[in-house]
Structure 1
C-alpha cells in the first residue's frame, strides 16, 4: 500500500475517533462507514488495521450507551493487545478500561486506566487527554475516591473548556457538584449543579442529567418533595426518558415517592424501572429495585439483605451505605430497633471501606 493511502486511512480513523470523543454520533456513524470501506478496499498494514479495530470497538461502546440495540457485554480479544506501538497500546488499555467502566467493573477499569496513563505522553491530542481524565475521574468517583476523582475531573474540565467542548465540560461540573453533595457540602454542591443546569439548556441529554443531579442532592438532604419534582422534570425530556440514565431516574423517582408514602405512583414507577434495569442489564439498579420492592412492597428484610449483599460483594460500598442507611431509617420509623441497629452497623462498615481499593475484582 502506498504511503499516501496509509496516511489517508490513518487520518480518516483519527477524524472518526474525534467525532466519538466529541459525542457527534451521527457524524461518527457516517465516518465509520467511509473508513470501513477505505480499509476493505486497500491493502492496509497491521498497524492501521489494529487502529481501526480499536476505534471500532470504542464506536460500539458509544452506540451501546446511546441506543437499545447493543446491550451485551462487548469484548476485545486479549491476543489483540498490541506490543510494538505505544499509541496502540494506550488505546488498547484505555478503550478496554472504558468497557469495564460501562459494565460496572470499576476496579478492573482502574487497573487498565493506570496502564494507559503510563502511555499518555504518546498521545499528542488534547481532546483525547481530556477524555482520559474524565473517564478516570468517573471511575474514581464510583469507587468513592473523591479527592482523586475531583483532581482528574478538574483537569478534564479545563481542557474541554479550552477546546470549546461545552457539553463535555458541563458533564465534568456535574460530577464535581455531586462529589460535594455526597460529602455533605450541599450548599456548594447544589450551587455547582444549578450553574451547570443553566448552561446545559441547549443540550437536552445533559440538561436532564443536571436535573437528575439536583434531584439526587435533594434526596440526600431528605427533601423528597423537591427531589420528586426534579426527577419528573428530567423524565419529561425524551432523550433522557428513553435511555439507561432515564431508567435510573425512574428508580430514583419511585424511591422518593415510596418515602413520601405515595405508594400507588411509586409502584408504577418501580415496575418501569425494573423493566429498564433488566433490559439494560444494569447490576446496580437491578439491586436497587430489588431493595425497594423488598422494603416498601413486602417489608421483607431477607430481600433487602440480598440486594445489599449483592452490592457489597461487587465493592459498591457507597451504594451499600446508602441502602443500609435507608433500611435503618425505615426500621426505626416502624419501631423495629433491632433491625435499625443492624442496618446502621452495616452502613458504618460500608463507610470504612470507602477508601479500599483492592485488586480482587474480576
Structure 2
C-alpha cells in the first residue's frame, strides 16, 4: 500500500537541501536532491511545495552548471497570503533575478532582486540573506551603480564572515577591489586585492584576483606589471581552464599589443578569440573584435562594430573604456576628427553608466 507523505516533511527536506546549496556543499546537495525526488513521488498534493521544489531545483542546477539552467515563467502565486507564501514569492523573484543575472541581463536582474528585497523580512535565515545581499551587489556592479553595489557587498562580506563562509566573503571583497579600481582609487584596489591573496586558500579566487590586479595595472597604463599578473593568473590551473582564463588571455594579448610585442600578442590573441567563441561570450567576442580592429587590421569599421555591440549589450563601462583608448590612439596619430568622435562615444558611455533604466527585456 502506498503511503502519502505529509507535505511539511517534504518541505523540511527541501529546506535542508536548499541550505546545502547555499553552503556550496555539492555532495550533500546531490544526495538530498535524490531524497527529495523520491519523497515527492509519495507526497500529498501540495502546489506550494511543488513550486518551492522547482525553484530550489533550478538553484541546484545553477550551482552545478553555471548559467545553463532553465527557469519556467509559468509558476504562479495565487495562494492565500501566509508567511510561507511570502517566502515563496521572495524565492521566485530572487531565483528569477539569478536567472537574468546568469544570462547577463543585469538591469532586469536588478528589477527582480529589488522585488525580492521587499520580501526579505520573510527570509528567516542569515545565510540566505547574505546570499541575496551578494547577488544584488554583483548585479549593481555590472550596471556600474558602484555606491549601491559597495553598500550591499560590504554587508554581504560581513554576513558571510560571521557565518564562516570565507570563500563567499572573499568573492565579495574581490568585487569591491574591482570597484575601487574602476573608480580610479588604484592604491586602495591593489591593497584590497593583495589582502585577498594573503588570506585565500582557493585557487579559483587566486586566479581571478591576480587577473583583477592585472586589470588594475592596465588601467594605470602599467602594461609590464599587467602582463606579469595576467601570466600569473594563467599559471593557476583552475583559472586557466575556466571562463575567466579566457578573459585573462584576452587581457594579456591586449597588454602585449600595448607593449608592441606583436608576435607574442598574436599567439595569445588567437587562443583568446577561440576561447571567447567557445564560451559564446558576447562581451569578449566584442573585445577581441576591438583588439583585432585596433592592433591587427587597424580598421576603424571593425572597432566601431565592436563598440556598438558592447553598447547594445548595455556594457557602458566597457564602451567608455575602449572609446577612451581610441581617443588616445587617434591623438597619437594626429587624427583629431577620430579623436573627437571617440570622445563623444566615451562621454555617452559615461552618461549611460549612471542610468539604471528599464534595460534588457
Q: Which TM class, normalised by the smaller chain length?
A: over 0.9
1:324-335 equivalent positions in 2, closer than 5 A:
324-335=323-334
1:224-239 map, 5 Å: 224-239=223-238
Distance 2:271 2:144 in 1: 29
- Tell me if structure 2 keeps the 8 A contact 1:83–1:89: no
8 Å CA contact 2:71, 2:99 repeated in 1: no
Using the alignment, how far apart are the partners of 2:322 and 2:27 within structure 1? 39
Judged with a 3 Å threshold, the aligned counterparts in structure 2 of structure 1 residues 182 and 49 are, in CA distance, closer, same or farther, namely: same
- Contact 1:81–1:92 (CA<8 Å) still a contact in 2? no
Tell me the distance in 2 between the aligned counterparts of 1:130 and 1:165: 10
How far apart are the structure 2 equivalents of 1:253 and 1:41? 55
Does 2:265 correspond to 1:243? Answer: no
- Distance of 2:35 and 2:266 partners within structure 1: 47
- Which digits, 9 at most, give the CA deviation of each residue in 1:76-119, with x for residues without a partner? 22221333311111111111111111111111101111111111
Instruction: Answer whether contact 2:214 2:229 (CA < 8 A) is retained.
Output: yes
> Does the aligned pair in 2 maintain the 1:81–1:89 contact within 8 Å?
no
Residues in 1 aligned to 2:4 and 2:164: alpha-carbon distance in whole angstroms: 33
Matched, 1:22 2:23: yes
Unaligned runs of 5+ in 2: 80-84
1:266-345 counterparts in 2 under 5 A?
Answer: 266-345=265-344
SS at match of 1:353: helix
Q: Which among 60, 78, 83 is matched to residue 78 of structure 2?
A: 83
Corresponding residue of 1:53: 54
How far did 1:335 drift? Answer: 3.5
Distance, in Å, in 2 between the alignment partners of 1:118 and 1:354 is 25
* Per-residue Cα deviation, 1:45-87 (whole angstroms, up to 9, x for no partner): 222221111011112222232xxxxx65x43222213333111
Q: Whole-Å Cα distance in 1 between the matches of residues 94 and 120 of structure 2?
A: 10
1:68 corresponds to which residue? none
CA distance in 1, matches of 2:193, 2:359: 34
Alpha-carbon spacing, 1:37–1:276, altered in 2? closer, same or farther (3 Å)? farther
Distance 2:132 2:3 in 1: 33
Relative to structure 2, which stretch is displaced further, 154-163 or 269-278? 269-278
Q: Report how far residue 4 of structure 1 moved.
A: 6.5
1:277-301 Cα deviation digits (max 9, x unpaired) = 2222222111111111111110111
- Distance change (3 Å), C-alpha of 1:275 and 1:185: same
Aligned-residue RMSD, C-alpha:
1.9
Superposed counterparts of 1:125-204, under 5 Å: 125-200=125-200, 202-204=201-203
Could you tell me how far 1:2 is from its partner in structure 2? Answer: 8.0
Larger Rg: 2
- Within a 5 Å distance, the mapping from 1:350-361 to structure 2 comes to 350-361=349-360
In structure 2, what is the Cα distance between the partners aligned to 1:64 and 1:26? 14
Q: Report how many residues are paired.
A: 355
Contact 1:101 1:109 survives alignment (8 Å): yes
Q: Quote how far apart the aligned CAs of 1:361 are.
A: 2.0
Deviation (angstroms), 1:3: 9.1
* CA deviation after TM superposition for structure 1 residue 275, in Å: 2.1
State the shift of 1:26 in Å.
3.5
1:9 paired residue number: 10
Deviation at 1:271, TM superposition (A): 2.0
Change (3 A) 1:359 1:30: same
Question: Residue by residue, what CA displacement relative to the aligned partner does 1:114-160 show, whole Å, maximum 9, x if unpaired?
Answer: 11111111110111111111110111111111111100001101100
Residue of structure 1 equivalent to 2:124: 124
Distance 1:80 1:264, change over 3 A: same
